């Protein structure tokens, strides 16, 4: 080795390039388009927020003065500690509750697992604001419990925010934890049993280590969701100010855009930090499940199964109760005093009425189409067209998950409502709402796409190339059909989130482009709580209907896929 290595020490770092073909031109154009989209709609707007945080309200550069003011004004600075406090509490409570729930779903023989799994997903269909409204209808000053028992738990403030966030984040944590608990190797448990380990010891030495990355991931996801959420604290926070509501107050209430930008930048820090730590930890993860793994099949333990059923039913029951309260309150004359049935709250005499619901549906549908196409092609560009741009584009693609909706919305005001900018043509259109949704939810779609692409045999494109078939043909005939289940899942994700998002669009809705979730907020603000509830019901109903349609579509896809996906492909044992 030592003698011959001298001969190759002067090998050039450059590789011998291949001639440029027509295919390469197409490949590079795709990379360029993707880079321009991310640059224009993500990087540039964010840089605007940073810049504006350094300007005074008169537009002059004042350096860090805004930050000094932010940290030294107790009334505003409190929003930082408040945010951290409620987010940390929400994280601990949510992940703890969701872990038990996920364990019951994946590792026990508890009855009604399917129903309980679906029920826990309910919060995905409602804006975060809606769970807060539901809690107010039960525990608020005029809530059902408060009125009937005379006992006021004081739901407004930190307590209410945490409870609403737990609701809102529960399905997200549950999905991650159920996936982590579901992916295990039964042989590990067999080994533990043959070695005589007690159930507790097995849990501590096999179960927990197996899901530690899932746990960490769930913690970060919940923390980020909670600290960036705007709807719940806005509705139930009362005087308890968190950073997301502080941005809103500064921008909408006091027209102080610079201070809004300053709070935004500070809010970016914990979100980005959580994201970076999560990425670093995830990188250490290795595949627990290999092709030779055996799935764990839960066994019957009547006593254990029944306890878990009780536990899950309590959580699911509480969720169902809150949504039932919203449904009922939208259907009666005056909650909780007059329970005569009526449909009058569905007339929407204020705040855009049904127009906002149609807008929401249109925006959500277009977000689903544009978002799916962009994330999938983007994922393909980054994963399969290896260029020097792949690394930076990957980073840009995973960045949006740590950009709070409020920050993105404010960034879009600065970018698309700047005097004299040609980008202003987008302002006040549905298009800007679609763009903001696509970017806001970009990361999950993108990661789903790259995961699906990574699972495909890396040699598909090479086989195509060796047979003289251009890459775009292989993309269309092989890649897309195989990834169809993921593509359907991505579009559903975009649709549902676009239906319920509030934070990213609150600043950029304009007369004529009102959205349903914003309408709920405005009606609630205006004291039309029954109408707010009615609109919430319609949003949830739309989500459920679309989800059911997707489910049918997915069944069709699966049936088609079943024909060829009979068995997993051969896994090579050794690669040189």
User: What is the contact surface with other proteins in residues (CB under 8 A)?
Assistant: 1, 4-5, 7-8, 11-19, 21, 23-24, 457, 459-460, 462-470, 473, 477-478, 481-482, 561, 563-567, 569-576
**Which structure tokens are listed for 399?**
């960045």
Nearer to other proteins (CB atom), residue 135 or residue 482? 482
Nearer to other proteins (CB atom), residue 74 or residue 572? 572
Nearer to other proteins (CB atom), residue 16 or residue 280? 16
Task: Tell me the DSSP string of 290-322.
Answer: -TT--PPPP---HHHHHHHHHHHHHHHHHHHHH
Q: Identify whether the C-beta of residue 366 lies closer than 8 Å to the C-beta of residue 430.
A: yes
Nearer to other proteins (CB atom), residue 253 or residue 481? 481
Distance CA 443, CA 425 (A): 26
Nearer to other proteins (CB atom), residue 349 or residue 574? 574
Distance of closest approach, residue 466 Cβ to other proteins, in angstroms: 5
The alpha carbon of residue 501 and the mean position of all alpha carbons in its chain are separated, in whole angstroms, by 10
Distance of closest approach, residue 35 Cβ to other proteins, in angstroms: 23
Q: Identify whether the C-beta of residue 138 lies closer than 8 Å to the C-beta of residue 214.
A: no
Distance CA 436, CA 497 (A): 12
Distance of closest approach, residue 475 Cβ to other proteins, in angstroms: 12
Nearer to other proteins (CB atom), residue 74 or residue 468? 468
Angle at 86 between CA 81 and CA 91, to 5 degrees: 125
Nearer to other proteins (CB atom), residue 9 or residue 280? 9
**Which structure tokens are listed for 121?**
């997903």
Distance of closest approach, residue 287 Cβ to other proteins, in angstroms: 16
Unique residue bearing structure tokens 């440029």: 20
Distance of closest approach, residue 24 Cβ to other proteins, in angstroms: 8
Distance of closest approach, residue 566 Cβ to other proteins, in angstroms: 4
Distance CA 231, CA 252 (A): 15
Distance CA 437, CA 184 (A): 35
Distance of closest approach, residue 19 Cβ to other proteins, in angstroms: 5
> Pairing between strand 338-341 and 332-334?
antiparallel
Distance of closest approach, residue 31 Cβ to other proteins, in angstroms: 17
Nearer to other proteins (CB atom), residue 285 or residue 291? 291
Distance of closest approach, residue 484 Cβ to other proteins, in angstroms: 9
Distance CA 173, CA 121 (A): 10
Nearer to other proteins (CB atom), residue 11 or residue 287? 11
Distance of closest approach, residue 8 Cβ to other proteins, in angstroms: 5
Which one, of 425, 170, 207, lies nearest residue 323 by Cα?
A: 170
Nearer to other proteins (CB atom), residue 208 or residue 458? 458
DSSP tag of 568: P
Nearer to other proteins (CB atom), residue 328 or residue 478? 478
Distance of closest approach, residue 453 Cβ to other proteins, in angstroms: 14
Q: Residue 334's beta-bridge partner residues?
A: 338
**Which structure tokens are listed for 565?**
């996906």
Nearer to other proteins (CB atom), residue 458 or residue 541? 458
Distance CA 546, CA 535 (A): 17
Unique residue bearing structure tokens 């399969």: 384
Which helix (DSSP H) or strand (DSSP E) does residue 66 occupy? helix 65-72
Which helix (DSSP H) or strand (DSSP E) does residue 418 occupy? none
Q: Residue 332's beta-bridge partner residues?
A: 341
Distance CA 403, CA 225 (A): 10
Distance CA 551, CA 155 (A): 37
Angstrom CA distances, 198 to 202, 294, 303, 403, 463, stand at 6, 21, 17, 45, 51
State phi, psi for 403 to the nearest 5 degrees: -95, 115
Distance of closest approach, residue 555 Cβ to other proteins, in angstroms: 18
Nearer to other proteins (CB atom), residue 58 or residue 573? 573
Distance of closest approach, residue 294 Cβ to other proteins, in angstroms: 20
**Which structure tokens are listed for 315?**
């959580």
Distance CA 478, CA 460 (A): 8
């Amino acid at each position: 080795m030592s003698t011959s290595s001298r001969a190759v020490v002067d090998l050039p770092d450059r590789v011998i390039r291949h001639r440029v073909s027509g295919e390469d031109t197409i490949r590079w154009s795709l990379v360029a388009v993707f880079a321009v989209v991310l640059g224009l709609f993500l990087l540039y707007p964010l840089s605007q927020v940073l810049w504006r945080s350094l300007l005074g309200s008169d537009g002059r550069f004042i350096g860090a003065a805004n930050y000094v003011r932010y940290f030294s004004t107790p009334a505003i600075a409190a929003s930082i500690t408040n945010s951290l406090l409620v987010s940390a509490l929400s994280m601990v409570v949510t992940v703890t509750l969701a872990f038990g729930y996920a364990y019951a779903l994946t590792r026990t023989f508890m009855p009604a697992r399917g129903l309980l799994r679906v029920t826990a997903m309910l919060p995905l269909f409602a804006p975060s604001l809606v769970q807060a409204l539901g809690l107010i209808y039960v525990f608020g000053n005029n809530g059902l419990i408060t009125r009937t028992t005379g006992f006021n738990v004081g739901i407004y403030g930190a307590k209410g925010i945490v409870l609403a966030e737990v609701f809102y984040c529960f399905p997200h944590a549950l999905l991650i934890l159920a996936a982590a608990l579901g992916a295990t190797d039964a042989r590990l448990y067999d080994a533990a049993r043959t070695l005589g380990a007690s159930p507790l010891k097995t849990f501590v030495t096999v179960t927990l280590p197996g899901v530690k990355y899932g746990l960490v991931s769930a913690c970060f996801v919940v923390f980020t969701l909670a600290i960036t959420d705007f709807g719940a604290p806005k509705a139930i926070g009362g005087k308890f100010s968190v950073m997301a509501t502080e941005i809103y107050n500064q921008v909408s209430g006091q027209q102080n855009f610079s201070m809004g930008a300053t709070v935004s930048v500070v809010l970016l820090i914990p979100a980005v930090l959580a994201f970076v730590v999560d990425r670093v930890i995830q990188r250490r993860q290795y595949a627990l499940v290999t092709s030779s793994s055996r799935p764990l099949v839960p066994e019957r333990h009547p006593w254990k199964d029944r306890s878990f059923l009780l536990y899950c039913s309590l959580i699911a029951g509480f969720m169902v109760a809150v949504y039932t309260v919203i449904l009922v309150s939208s259907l009666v004359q005056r909650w909780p005093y007059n329970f005569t049935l009526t449909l009058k709250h569905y007339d929407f005499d204020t705040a855009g009425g049904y127009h906002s619901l149609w807008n929401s549906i249109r925006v959500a549908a277009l977000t689903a189409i544009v978002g799916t196409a962009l994330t999938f092609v983007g994922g393909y560009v980054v994963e399969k067209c290896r260029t020097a741009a792949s690394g930076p584009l990957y980073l840009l693609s995973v960045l949006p998950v740590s950009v709070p909706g409020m920050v993105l919305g404010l960034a879009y005001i600065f970018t698309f409502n700047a005097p004299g900018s040609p980008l202003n043509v987008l302002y006040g259109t549905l298009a800007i709402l679609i763009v903001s949704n696509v970017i806001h939810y970009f990361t999950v779609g993108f990661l789903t796409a790259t995961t699906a692409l990574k699972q495909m045999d890396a040699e598909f494109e090479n086989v195509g190339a060796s047979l003289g078939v251009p890459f775009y043909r292989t993309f269309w005939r092989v890649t897309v059909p195989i990834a169809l289940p993921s593509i359907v899942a991505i579009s559903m994700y975009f649709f549902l989130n676009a239906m319920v998002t509030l934070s990213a669009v609150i600043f950029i809705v304009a007369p004529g482009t009102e959205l349903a979730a914003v309408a709920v907020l405005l009606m609630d603000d205006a004291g039309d709580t029954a109408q707010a509830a009615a609109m919430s019901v319609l949003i949830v109903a739309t989500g459920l209907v679309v989800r059911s349609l997707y489910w049918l579509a997915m069944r069709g896809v699966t049936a088609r896929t079943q024909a060829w996906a009979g068995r997993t492909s051969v896994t090579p044992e050794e690669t040189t």
